[in-house]
Chain A
Amino acid sequence: MLLLLLTCIPALAAPTQASAQSITDRRIEWPSGEQWRRVVLLEDYNTRVVIFGVAVLGVAAGLVGSFTLLRKRALLGDALSHASLPGIAAAFMFAGVMGMDGKSLPILLFGATVSGLLGVGLVLVIQRQTRLKEDAGLGIALSVFFGAGMALLGVVQQMDTGHAAGLESFIYGKTASMNANDARLIAAASCVAILGCLLLFKEFKLLCFDENFAGSRGMPVLLLDLTLMALVVLVTIVGLQAVGLILMVALMVIPAAAGRFWSERMWTVAGLAALLGGIGGIIGAASSALFPRLPSGAMIVLTCTALFLFSMMFGTARGVLVRLLRRRRLNRRVRKQHLLRGLYELLESKPANKQAKRNMAVPIEELLSIRSWSSTQLRRTIAQAESDQYLVQRDGTVRLTQAGYAEAARLTRQHRLWELYLISYAEVAPGRVDRDADDIEHVLEPELVDELEALLDQEPLRIPVPASPHGVIHEASDSQGQHP
C-alpha cells in the first residue's frame, strides 16, 4: 500500500516551479538528522506529553485487554466506546440546563462512564437471560446506544446554551494534541487499572479459564465479572477522549492477541501484552512526530498491527513458524522410524540365522518396494539415519549398525505390542490393525510399553519381538501409506 501511495502521489502533484516547492506537493519527506535527534531525545514538550500518555495508556489497555481476550470479549471495548456517546450528549444537556460548563471534562467523562456501564449491563442481561450469544449482545448495545447518541447530538445542536461544537469529536480523539492534563488523567486511570489487575490477578485468571470452578470455590463470579468490566470501562472511557475510538479498540485487542503467541502462562501473556501496548504506543507516536503528515492514532494502530503480525509468525509458543517447525521435526522423526522398522521387517523375512541377519546389507531398491516412499525422500531419510549412526550406506546398499539394529528391534516390538493390544482389547480387525498401530506407536512412552507387556503376559526375555499378527506385505501395490 505504501509503495502504491508513493507511486501515485508524484503523478497527482501539480507541476512544481523550478525553484520553489509547490503547496500541493505531498511526498513523504525523509526526516533530517536534526529531526531524528529531537524526537529520539524527546526535546519537544508536545512530543514528550504525547508519547508518555500513549505509552501509559498502551500498557494499561494491553494488560486489561489480555483478560477480555481470554474471556472471549475482545470487542467489548468497541461496544463500550460506541455506547458512551449518549452519555456524553446527555451530560452536556444536563450541565447546560444546570448552568454549568457543558464542556467540562469531568462531567463528560461521568456521562460517558454511566452510559458505558449501562451498555455493559445490557450485554450481560442479553447474554445471561436469553439464548442470544454475547456477540449479538455487543452488537445490539453498540448500535442502539450509538444511535441514541446521534439522536441526542441532533438535539444538542439546537440548544440555546450554544458552543456544542466539537462535542462529536470527543470519540474521534486528539492524540497528537494531547496536553499535560490529559496525560495525567490517563496516567491516573491507567495506574488504577494496572493496580486492580495486579491485585486481582489470581481471581481474574481463574475467572477467565474456569468460571464454574471459580464459583464452586466460593469466589463471587458475578462481582469479579463486573469488576473486570468496570476496569475495561475505566480504561476505555478515559482513553477514548484522548486517543479516539478506533485506537482504543486497537489497544484493547491487538497487544493482548500478540502476547498470546509467546507464552502459555498468564503472567507472561499479560506482561507481554502490556509491554507491546507500551512499545506500540511509543513507536507509533514517535513515527508520527518524525513524519509530519502521518496521523498519530493511525500510526499507533499500524505499529501494533506490525507487532501482532511479527508475533503471529515468530511467537515462541503459538507462532505459525514455530508450529511449522514442530510439525516438520515430527514428520522427520516418523519417517526415520518407518525406515528402521521397514529394514528390520525386511531382514526378519530373510532365511538366515540371527547373527547373519544383523549384518546383512539391503539394496535401496528393495527398500523402495516396501513402502510408497519417493526415491528422494528415502535417500534423505537414509542420510539422516546415517548421521545418527543407525546405519551405514555403501554402494547402493544400507546396513544396520549395532545401535541401529537395537533401535529397529525396539520400534518393531513397540509397534507389534500395540497391534496386539488393539486386537485383544479394542477389537480391531487384524487386517486393519497395522494402520491404526502406525498412528500412535510413535508417541508411546516406555512406561506404557511396560504396561502393554504386563497386560499381554509377554515375558520380555523369552520373546524379544512378538511375531507379527499378520504377514509382512512386500508388494508395493499393497503397501500401507505413510504416516498422514
Chain B
Amino acid sequence: MLRGLYTATSGMKTNNRKLEVITNNIANINTVGYKKDLLISESFPEILIKKINASNPFMNNEVFKGVEVKEDNGLYTVNTTSGFFRTKTINGISYQKSLNFTINKDGYLSTYYRDADGNKDTQGGYLVLGNKGPIYVGDGQLEVNERGQVLVDGNVVDSLVMPTPPGVIGTLNSGVTVDKIVVNYEQGQLFETENDLDLGIKGKGFFQIETPDGIRYTRDGSFQLNNNNELVTLDGYPVIGEYGPIVIEGSEIAVSEAGEIIVDGEFIDKIKVINIENLGDLRKEASNFYKMAEGAQIKEAPFTGTIHQGFLEKANVDPIKEMVKMMTIFRNYESGQRVIKAYDDTLGKAVNEVGKV
C-alpha cells in the first residue's frame, strides 16, 4: 500500500516542476528571442512483482508466443505477450513488454530519444540487456528474429526476451521523475521595429557576444552603439564580427541578409552568425544568453539563415498550448492528491477500525 503512496507523491512532485517550467515560459512571452523550455519526465524502472508463497511456481507462466518485430531504417520496435525485455537504467533494471531500440555509436543496442528536429539521440538512452548483459552488435548486420534472438551477421549472439520467472505476476511502476529539460529552438515570429540596429535571425543560428566570462550566444538582436561606436547588446557587451568587435562610424547603416554591414556605402565587417550543431549542449543563461555547457566543445556549422534588419524575433511561446499544459498539470496534481487521500482513508480504516470491538 505504501508503494502506491510514494508513486502518487512522485507524480505530484514532477507536476510541480513542470508548472515551474511552464510559468517561466509564460513570464517570458514578450522576451525577444526567447526559446521555450520543455520538461521531459520519465518513469522509474518497471519492477517485477512476485506472488509470495505461490503454491505452484509455474501457475502464471504463459506459453511463449514469440516476439513481434518491426524494423524501420535501423530503428527497432519489439513487442511480446510473454516474458520481458530488460534495459539497464540508472535506477536499476527495468522490465518491459515492449521496447524501442537502435544501435548506439559504441555498437551496443540502446533505447533512444527524438530531439526537436526528429533526429534520434542515443546519448541519453539506456542499454538493452540480453541474457549475458548489454548486447554488442558493432559494425555487424543486425537481425532480430521472431523468437527474440539477436543475430549479428547471421550468428545468434544473445536473446532479448527473458522468460517470466516463477511466481511473477507482472510489473509495477514506482512513479515518475524529471529527466531533463530541453529547449525548443523553433523559429519565433519576426516583428518589425524599424530600428536600423535591430537584427532578426530567420533560420538556425546565433549571434556571438563577447562577455567578460567568455563567448555567449544569443538570438536577441536588439543592439546599440556604445561610446566607442562599437555594436553592443543592451547589456553593453560587444557583438563579434569577422574582424572582432564591430565599429560603426557613420550614419547610413545597412545590414545585408548575410550579415555584411555597409556603412555609408562602404563594407565595414560581417557579423559572425554561427549555426550550432550540438544544441543539446547549450545552456541558458540570464539576459537572453546561451553558453556552452562546461566541458562541451562547440560544433560549428555555417550559417544558412538570413538576417533581417529592422526586425526582432518574438518568443516562440504559444500561450494557448502553455495554458492547456497548465490545466493538465493542475488536474493531474489534483488526481495525485485524491489518490493519496484515498490511500490515507484506507490506511486509517486499517489502523482505527479493524479490530475494533
A binds B: no
Interface residues of A (CB under 8 A from B): none
Give the A-binding residues of B (Cβ under 8 A).
Answer: none
